[in-house]
Structure 1
């Protein structure tokens, strides 16, 4: 998702009041994650140690700002490297350590990335690779073709999110963005799959709907919230279909965030709101106009990825 810490699509003050009032219902925040999990580290060129009694396991995260672990801060700044990929790497690194296996984690995620820039280059945020993120990922997989590698990918939000800016939904823009995801993700997964070795797992994810937060800003905004779910469902259906075409399981982040659940209603900030609205206000930073997940939300995303892996993965 695009790294914009403060958006004008919603009334941030109203959201902040709700979330502050409901602070006791938010799960405890995860510890900030670094770029590397226990067991070693290396860059996109694949360099790094391969020693130890068991062959190492590798984790490569590719995608947009969610993969990069982007979050805004209350003071108006932002951090990266504090997201689902770091949460997932900690869990997988701990599992590998129990098996006395080296584990190495590389994060190529670039905030602002679209399917187009991922494939052709031009991510607007400073990043660790030259050329495109897809080229860097393919090069990484070529180096590790014989190794056990997990690849996670999230992409597509930035192709469509601009279509719900300003408190309205631009339907032609949204339909065009979804088609861009269909063709762009197909190309990306095709190239990743072609570069992957026999021991590489690729897992995708669908997306939560941050614009559900509009529900609490007025009756007209509830129309935007409802319409945004229809857009989200269409986008997620495309992601799931393209993933399946390339034999890539899809982590059900939308399901974990209860995106379609306008019932039941639950208490939040002194009022009753739909469950899907509550989840967005609890697990993202929409209270200050930032569409990105918070620590709790990123852990939910990591858990959705874990659900698509064997319970003992990685295992020597």
Structure 2
């Protein structure tokens, strides 16, 4: 690829960014309709899987779990992660084609040599994954890094003269594969928003030396190629958007990746950058609790609004208790207190829960149900307050309750 070609690619990227319509954004509110589950399905390579060196797969904490947290700030949500470490664009094309057909396949049929154990699991459940895609509101994709990886992970980096024609050739293949992937996903679900990330460049200037500018030009060419594919798809009625990761990593390669350990993957700071970029594209914001959450308590977010009260939630035996009046006001519930029976009756949208203080049973819509820990009364700063088990109350009233350990936050959504 000549310098002139690189320049044209960069100009094309700039022009595309100016004219690309914000498909899928019209009518998107900050919260979902009551009772509606917002569904995100994620496909891609190790970035989607959340890979980090020396971490067990169960301990991966990439951008997709963070997206699940962000979704909970807006309403009921479900996030399915079908990322496969080591996947390249050809493998993703085979993977999505099998999903489109709903025909179970094998890891080797997706891509020879995949070592991620999830590859075989996902290959054997293409019909189930297809059903998830059909219900998705948003589909996220990261792909392309493994196409380039063989060019930059040898014992010695190639020269600019060696690298540029190889990048040009692989971008042509990447564009064809990605176009087929997007077409297959659109066939399954023509209404989903599809959000695709471009490629960051992980090698810092200190290591790349004179090749650093060429590597960053290669990343920019990836972005330009992606934009071209997306523009063509949107012209045919798609709802595809891009997340531009390339500039977020330039000059920060050491800070955001494990490159000092000779590994190109993001570290936790880098995955946070990914999550913010995707979240801001989907919801126009990235949220965290407004204040640090003390170890002895948790934050509570009800329908997107933090429960701010002088009477903090209390944790007892793994159960979150909140002040009765605080939570009923937050839920928009009607509260009646029977002083003689020391029982609270709470009603929302025709559903009712009665919670007696000191008894390990509640009544939900007339049916008595045992609970592990009873409501209690406690004096806080000289004020007597009734504390009720949050999950028991909210679930009984038909709310969705999810706890996110990293944020130490309980999300309650209609």
Q: What range describes the TM-score normalised by the shorter chain of this pair?
A: 0.5 to 0.7
C-alpha distance in 1, partners of 2:145/2:212? 16
C-alpha distance in 2, partners of 1:83/1:92? 15
For 2:282, what is the secondary structure of its paired residue?
A: coil
Tell me, yes or no, if the aligned pair for 1:70 and 1:81 is still in contact at 8 Å: yes
For CA contacts below 8 A with separation 6 or more, give which structure has more relative contact order. 1
C-alpha distance in 1, partners of 2:232/2:121? 27
Tell me, yes or no, if the aligned pair for 2:133 and 2:188 is still in contact at 8 Å: no
Specify which structure has the higher proportion of helix.
1
1:111: how far off?
0.8
Counterpart pick for 2:179 among 174, 186, 193: 186
Report the equivalent of 1:140: 129
Residues 175 and 78 of structure 1, relative CA distance in 2, 3 Å threshold:
farther
Report the equivalent of 2:44: 63
**TM-score (norm: length of structure 2):** 0.50
Count of aligned residue pairs for this structure pair: 230
Matches within 5 A, 1:1-316: 54-73=35-54, 79=57, 81-96=60-75, 101=76, 103-120=77-94, 121-122=110-111, 124-128=114-118, 130=120, 136=126, 140-142=129-131, 145=134, 147=135, 149-165=137-153, 166-169=156-159, 170-171=162-163, 172-198=165-191, 200-211=192-203, 213=204, 215-217=205-207, 221-247=208-234, 248-257=240-249, 276-277=250-251, 279-311=252-284
Tell me, yes or no, if the aligned pair for 2:145 and 2:199 is still in contact at 8 Å: yes
1:130: how far off?
4.6
Greater shift, 230-239 or 60-69, is seen at 230-239
C-alpha distance in 1, partners of 2:49/2:132? 22
1:255: how far off?
2.7
For 1:306, what is the secondary structure of its paired residue?
A: helix
Q: Gaps spanning 5+ residues in structure 2: where? A: 1-32, 95-109, 235-239, 287-302, 305-413
C-alpha distance in 2, partners of 1:204/1:112? 17
Residues 289 and 144 of structure 1, relative CA distance in 2, 3 Å threshold:
closer
Report the equivalent of 2:329: none
Q: What root-mean-square deviation, in Å, do the aligned CA atoms of Structure 1 and Structure 2 show? A: 2.9
Tell me, yes or no, if the aligned pair for 1:142 and 1:196 is still in contact at 8 Å: no
C-alpha distance in 2, partners of 1:293/1:235? 18
Tell me, yes or no, if the aligned pair for 2:41 and 2:132 is still in contact at 8 Å: no
1:144: how far off?
5.6
**TM-score (norm: length of structure 1):** 0.65
Tell me, yes or no, if the aligned pair for 1:61 and 1:106 is still in contact at 8 Å: yes
Tell me, yes or no, if the aligned pair for 1:69 and 1:81 is still in contact at 8 Å: yes
1:142: how far off?
3.9
C-alpha distance in 2, partners of 1:111/1:129? 8
Report the equivalent of 1:13: none
C-alpha distance in 1, partners of 2:44/2:260? 24
Q: Gaps spanning 5+ residues in structure 1: where? A: 1-51, 258-275
C-alpha distance in 2, partners of 1:231/1:62? 23
1:164: how far off?
2.2
Residues 160 and 93 of structure 1, relative CA distance in 2, 3 Å threshold:
same
C-alpha distance in 1, partners of 2:119/2:259? 30
C-alpha distance in 1, partners of 2:144/2:84? 13
C-alpha distance in 1, partners of 2:280/2:199? 16
Residues 144 and 291 of structure 1, relative CA distance in 2, 3 Å threshold:
closer
For 2:73, what is the secondary structure of its paired residue?
A: helix
Q: Deviations over 1:110-145 (max 9, x none)?
A: 111011111221261224355987x94x86354563
C-alpha distance in 1, partners of 2:186/2:216? 30
